[in-house]
């Protein structure tokens, strides 16, 4: 039966990478699909913006997993390289502490060698650790699912310095120190972000989202921008469609939420449709930390002693990651002793990232500028000399900004916090308790970051296609 203009096989709420990948697969399978996105551009955390001559990625600024994870296979299937050039930055990540510098290279043997030079007493353990990571799929046992990442590190190393250095980029990416991060997620992150990181779409991260939109539309998909969904229509058992902010109703057999889980259940669906135990579980869950971002446009480009654009440059001024986590969580910006710097290809647009916890709009209106300047002073003292004389443009995004643009609960960077107890809970993975309602993206607790949500988008679509064909 032909569908009316206002009737779809599937509606996806949100055009983040998870929603877009899911949409591409559903549309490719011949389904009539609509994506409704609240923002005026697609991508969620994977967008870019311009300020005068400078172009910045708003949040995500590179991705990994083309070689080791399923992301490479999915991008090949979607023929994404026909739309954009993806280049590989080598080294992908550089860690700088007061007394050493180590890098993650595309060739893992170079990475191993580099770590062995920095930690000669750990020669053999470093080799064992990296071999374990490469084979981590085979090594994931039930006990690893119950362990934290510290326990993995402890089984290879005794020196606390190497443990901090190895886990610092994982801490930066997940917002959790190894003592709190699930071993399963830590291994996944290590493999996807560090052993195979540094991929970048030419022209900026927005181009990745735009390429997915093109593929989606070529397969018949429709994208509505600036269209916030404010209700999932449900008869108590089945999802029936959505209602937009302008009160327009659109019906569909499947509804897929790419937005945060609290919003999906508590606001869009409504508490009346949720089992009480499940409701309490959601209310008790903790989100991952958010980030305070400083976007800087320079008068003179970074050359010489500085690094090639594209690498994530991680500065660690205090090896105690638990203390760093505590300071970020409490908002003690005076005591922040770590940050990440990313230089864009023009060598003039630079971003700095510091983990931070959510506070309300009023707090950031009062404190954003002060905190930005305090952090820039710190950056100047600790890392880059004379940066303040070279700044032409500066702006900051707070956890509230991240929330404002994506509606992610508390501006969380990676969905739920990756602690062991929150790893995989019933109802948090793709199927929900309502027939026809699915979740996709980084709130499903299955994985996060671009590689994670790409895979979740793919998997959610496979489930729906199977069900649809039946």
Contacting positions for ligand FAD (CB under 6 A): 13-19, 36-39, 44-46, 59-63, 228-229, 258-259, 263, 291, 293, 353, 402, 406-408, 413-414, 441-442, 448-450, 453
How many residues are there in the chain? 470
Nearer to ligand FAD, 291 or 343 (CB): 291
Q: What is the CA radius of gyration of the chain?
A: 22
Asked if 401 and 358 count as a contact pair (C-beta separation under 8 A), the reply is no
Nearer to ligand FAD, 384 or 402 (CB): 402
Shortest Å distance, C-beta 354 to ligand FAD: 10
Query: CA–CA separation, 342 vs 13, rounded Å?
Result: 31
Shortest Å distance, C-beta 45 to ligand FAD: 3
DSSP string, 94-146: EEEETTEEEEE-SSHHHHHHHHHHH-GGGHHHHHHHHHHHHTHHHH--HHHHH
Shortest Å distance, C-beta 205 to ligand FAD: 8
Give the closest residue to 344 by CA, choosing from 392, 296, 299, 383.
296
Nearer to ligand FAD, 164 or 407 (CB): 407
**Strand 249-257 relative to strand 239-244: parallel, antiparallel, unpaired?**
antiparallel
Shortest Å distance, C-beta 446 to ligand FAD: 11
Nearer to ligand FAD, 118 or 397 (CB): 397
Asked if 434 and 269 count as a contact pair (C-beta separation under 8 A), the reply is yes
Nearer to ligand FAD, 59 or 144 (CB): 59
Nearer to ligand FAD, 17 or 437 (CB): 17
Nearer to ligand FAD, 125 or 167 (CB): 167
Shortest Å distance, C-beta 63 to ligand FAD: 4
Compute CA distances 138 → 168, 278, 344, 453, whole Å: 24, 32, 37, 22
Shortest Å distance, C-beta 99 to ligand FAD: 27
Shortest Å distance, C-beta 257 to ligand FAD: 8
What's the distance, CA 378 to chain centroid? 26
Specify whether the backbone of 410 is left (phi greater than 0), alpha (psi in -120 to 50) or beta.
left
Give residues with Cβ within 8 angstroms of 321, minimum separation 6. Answer: 164, 167, 168, 171, 177, 178, 179
């Amino acid at each position: 039966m032909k569908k009316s203009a206002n009737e779809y096989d599937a509606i996806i709420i949100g055009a983040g990478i998870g929603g877009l990948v899911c949409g591409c697969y559903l549309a490719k399978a011949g389904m009539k699909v609509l994506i409704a996105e609240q923002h005026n551009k697609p991508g969620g955390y994977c967008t870019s913006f311009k300020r005068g001559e400078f172009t910045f990625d708003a949040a995500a600024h590179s991705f990994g997993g083309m070689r080791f994870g399923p992301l490479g296979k999915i991008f090949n299937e979607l023929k994404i390289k026909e739309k954009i050039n993806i280049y590989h930055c080598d080294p992908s990540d550089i860690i700088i502490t007061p007394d050493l510098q180590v890098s993650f290279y595309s060739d893992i043997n170079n990475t191993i060698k580099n770590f062995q030079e920095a930690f000669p007493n750990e020669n053999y353990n470093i080799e064992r650790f990296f071999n374990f990571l490469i084979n981590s799929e085979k090594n994931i046992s039930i006990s690893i699912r119950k362990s934290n990442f510290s326990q993995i590190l402890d089984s290879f190393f005794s020196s606390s310095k190497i443990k901090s250095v190895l886990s610092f980029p994982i801490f930066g990416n997940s917002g959790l120190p190894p003592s709190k991060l699930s071993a399963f997620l830590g291994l996944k992150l290590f493999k996807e972000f560090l052993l195979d990181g540094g991929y970048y779409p030419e022209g900026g991260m927005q181009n990745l989202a735009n390429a997915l939109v093109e593929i989606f539309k070529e397969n018949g998909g429709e994208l509505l921008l600036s269209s916030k969904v404010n209700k999932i229509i449900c008869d108590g058992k089945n999802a029936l469609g959505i209602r937009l902010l302008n009160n327009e109703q659109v019906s569909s057999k499947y509804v897929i939420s790419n937005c945060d889980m609290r919003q999906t259940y508590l606001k869009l669906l409504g508490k009346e449709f949720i089992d009480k135990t499940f409701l309490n579980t959601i209310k008790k869950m903790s989100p991952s930390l958010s980030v305070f971002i400083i976007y800087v446009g320079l008068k003179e480009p970074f050359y010489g002693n500085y690094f090639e654009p594209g690498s994530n440059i991680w500065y660690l001024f205090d090896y105690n990651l638990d203390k760093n986590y505590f300071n970020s969580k409490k908002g003690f910006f005076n005591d922040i002793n770590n940050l990440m710097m990313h230089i864009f290809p023009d060598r003039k647009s630079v971003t700095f990232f510091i983990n931070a916890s959510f506070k309300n709009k009023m707090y950031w209106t009062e404190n954003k500028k002060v905190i930005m300047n305090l952090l820039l002073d710190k950056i100047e003292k600790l890392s880059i000399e004379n940066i303040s004389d070279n700044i032409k443009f500066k702006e900051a995004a707070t956890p509230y900004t991240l929330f404002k643009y994506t509606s992610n609960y508390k501006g969380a960077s990676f969905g739920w916090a990756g602690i062991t107890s929150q790893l995989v809970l019933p109802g948090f993975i793709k199927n929900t308790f309502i027939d026809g309602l699915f979740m996709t993206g980084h709130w499903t607790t299955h994985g996060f970051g671009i590689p994670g949500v790409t895979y979740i988008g793919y998997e959610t679509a496979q489930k729906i296609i199977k069900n649809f064909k039946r």
